[in-house]
A and B are shown apart, each in its own frame.
Chain A
Amino acid sequence: MMENPYLPFSMRIDDIVVETEDHNIKTFVLSYFEKEDEDRFKYVPGQFAELTVYGKGEAPFGMASSPMQAGQLEFSVSKIGVLTSALHQMHKGDVVGVRGPLGNGFPLANLKGKNLVLIGGGFGFSTLRALTNYMIHKAHRSSFGDITVIYGARKPGLLLYKGDLESWESRSDIQLHLTVDTADNGWTGHVGLVPNVTKSLAPSAENAFTLICGPPAMIKFTLPVVKELGFPDDKILLSLEMKMKCGVGMCGRCNMGSQYICRDGPVFSQDQLLHLTTETHF
């Protein structure tokens, strides 16, 4: 019997973290019921899964957790539609379905030995958080060069993963730069838009990759900045989003040119995107 790509397995909600002051983004910490589900769900940062709320349907979310986090998966969910609203009403102990891992994820083999400049904005930061936690894990830290993280939100209360940010800030092997559009009392980070902050920090493109995840406007204005800093198009990685259903390249809706975001992405180099239709151009 061939594997059925449409069947979710059950996971239990172990914890729900309200990430933002507006309560619109929550991180769901899920745990496996069956060891074999965990063994089968081998993923890399940047991949995603379809989350099921039974009776409402399913939707795709990037894994916000690092694969090094045993026994659990984390998904950060912004309350915006029918399914995410239903998720936001769920409680610890409730059961959701998970189908995946899907997509290509970040090309870890290519990133090894390189300096990494991670640039994230808003909600798009979740898979960069997964990648950062993966890279700074003691089993992996020596495989990667310098790690610079530039992360911005509209205001301090909208930054995700505050616990992680604190712990990263205390480490010497990762350069964390936080920025907000509007500061409040006590803010000690940068103030300004992500592209401008990136420009002033001017991270080196020497032996480096940059990975950019965030809202389209942020990507659009950050691309010329990293180009200016000397990052060639094949060293600029982006993670794309589209409406998805099947997640495996059959239902026909998430294509950009000949590429399906679900099957061939969601991670693409800028070089690849420039060779596709202008639909993929920021």
Chain B
Amino acid sequence: MKSRAKIIRKKELPDFLDHLIRSYKVFGPVKRDGIVFFDAIESGNDISLDYQNAKTSPKEALFPQSETLFRYHRKEGGVDVDVPVQGKKGQVLFGIRPCDAKGFLLLDKVFGGDCRDPYYEQRRANTIVVSLGCAKPQPACFCTALGGGPCAEEGSDLLMVDIGDQYVVKIVGDKGAILLEGNRFDDAEDESLAQAAEVKKKSEASMEPPLKIHGLKEKLDQLFDDSIWAQLTETCLGCGICTYLCPTCHCFDICDEPMGQDGIRIRTWDSCQFPLFTQQASGFNPRPLVKERFRQRIMHKFSYLVEDQGEVGCVGCGRCVTECPVNLDIRELLNALLEVEAA
């Protein structure tokens, strides 16, 4: 079978990116004060591919932290609303991690179910995902426990694997092929492919699956009313950082920002960890305590989404593990839940 993989030499990469920047808005990992974020790049040299994972997930490129749904204008006898037009220019998310790419597939299901979200879908249709396989997963990474992998291709249009002075670039989707059109990259030969396979194998082997999710949903459903939740979440501050950094968390708020008689309606990321998230105008709150909100987050990801979308709402990126201010580790929590004897 003819290989659907190309070789990009590292020294060719800045030129390739400059070529992309002429036609696309390109986002990539950018280092600022030693911390890697995803940001728009203006030159192929801005990018920093020598990183483990970015502090923030690239979901913002598809689902911005704040976005205008429409503007409203009062007029005689009514109100006009108009929706901001998204630019036609496509965007390339370059060098994101396979876990984050997989996360997009879950967002696709949430925003593209029976009711479709036009803001997300337009942006998604204009987006090309170029992932970079992980040669050295971090200690907090656990993608393999959730069906992913450090060099998994799910959700990517191109998947790059670093084999020294060049990348093996696997063409996963049609959009990936379009991106390479007009460039004369060599086909990847067997030897390079073997090297890439070796990187993948070593990387996967370096990750011990820290949890087994088999039977987790059923266990969680049984434990809904168990006292374990209070114990597990005793130290949780309810700060919500886990949800903001999560590549699959999609909860949002909608509110108006008036400017005189006119104004805008915006949506912003929100978090199930905040008490106001579910507090009704009457003051009644179905999830008044941290333990209930924390349980909601875990149940949503590992039970409700499995029922609703057939998939776990976690890709094992590890951001909630590394950034939690009180060191709550979702892997340890899930393991503890799995060990509880159901009443």
Contacts and interface: CB of A to CB of B under 8 A. Distances in A.
6 contacts: A55-B263, A95-B78, A245-B254, A251-B254, A251-B270, A258-B304
B110 A243 contact: no
Most buried by B among A10, A97, A241, A250: A250
Interface string A26-44: 0000000100000000000
A145 B121 CA distance: 46
Interface of A: 1-8, 10, 12, 33, 54-59, 80-84, 95, 97, 241-243, 245-246, 248-258, 263, 277-279
Contact of B252 (A4, A243, A252): A252
B118 interface: yes
Contacts of A256: 286
B189 interface: no
Contacts of B253: 245, 251
A2 B116 contact: yes
Interface in B58-108: 69-70, 72, 74, 77-79, 81, 83
Contacts of B254: 6, 57-58, 245-246, 251
Given A6-B70, A258-B307, 19 more contacts: A5-B115, A6-B265, A7-B70, A54-B72, A54-B256, A57-B256, A58-B254, A59-B281, A80-B281, A249-B114, A250-B110, A250-B111, A250-B117, A251-B251, A251-B270, A253-B251, A263-B115, A279-B286, A279-B287
A5 B117 contact: yes
Given A95-B79, A249-B115, A258 B303 contact: yes
A59 B117 CA distance: 19
Chain B interface secondary structure, helix, strand, loop or mixed?
mixed
Interface string B203-224: 0000000000000000001001
B15 interface: no
Contact of B286 (A7, A80, A242, A252): A242
A243 B116 CA distance: 21
A250 B115 contact: yes
Contact of A55 (B117, B258, B300): B258
The 9 closest A-B pairs by CB, nearest first: A81-B281, A252-B251, A55-B258, A258-B307, A258-B304, A248-B115, A10-B78, A80-B281, A245-B254
A142 to B, nearest CB: 34
Contacts of A81: 281
A194 to B, nearest CB: 19
A219 B310 CA distance: 33
* Most-contacted residue by chain B among A7, A54, A241, A278 (CB, 10 A): A54
Contacts of A10: 78-79
A7 B83 contact: yes
Contact of B278 (A4, A57, A242, A257): A242
Interface in B118-156: 118, 121
B224 A8 contact: no
B225 interface: yes
Nearest to B309: A258
B304 A253 contact: no
Contacts of B70: 6-7
Given A2-B118, A250-B111, A95 B77 contact: yes
B332 interface: no
Contacts of A1: 118
A252 B277 CA distance: 9
B47 interface: no
